[in-house]
Amino acid sequence: MADPSSKNIGTNVRSLELTLQEVWTLYDANVPEYSEKCLIFLNAKSQFLNDLLYFVHANMENETQSTNKILTELQDRNHSSILEAKEGFRLEKQTMENKLKETLLSKAEIEANNEILKEKYEALKIKNEDQELDMQS
């Protein structure tokens, strides 16, 4: 299916051709005959079409520049967003690593305290058993 803008351009080109045919008909009917009559009209038509193409080209160039500017801005925003996201993830990772280190350190302290308490318990248990043996004897 054709792009609506291309249909619009096609319609405008056909309208332009019809208009130029009407101008030629009026010109031919109202200008007296002489050798350069057709040449003058074709030269004017050629100049008009050349000016029209220049105008279309200039507009397309402006649109291309605008599109490129927008694209560049979007790429810059995208790049900035990616950098911000990366920095956010880096900080989050660093925070999680720090929490993990703290947790591992706490775990090691708890395990060390647990071992000390087990040793004390065993020592008390042995002391208690010795006292019971002393009492029995």
Contact 79, 65 (CB under 8 A): no
In this structure, what DSSP letter does residue 1 have? -
pLDDT digits (tens, 9 = 90+) for 44-57: 888 888 988 898 89
pTM of the model: 0.52
Secondary structure of 70-122 as H, E, C letters: HHHHHHHHHHHHHHHHHHHHHHHHHHHHHHHHHHHHHHHHHHHHHHHHHHHHH
Distance CA 106, CA 102 (A): 6
pLDDT digits (tens, 9 = 90+) for 78-114: 999 999 999 999 999 999 999 999 999 999 999 999 9
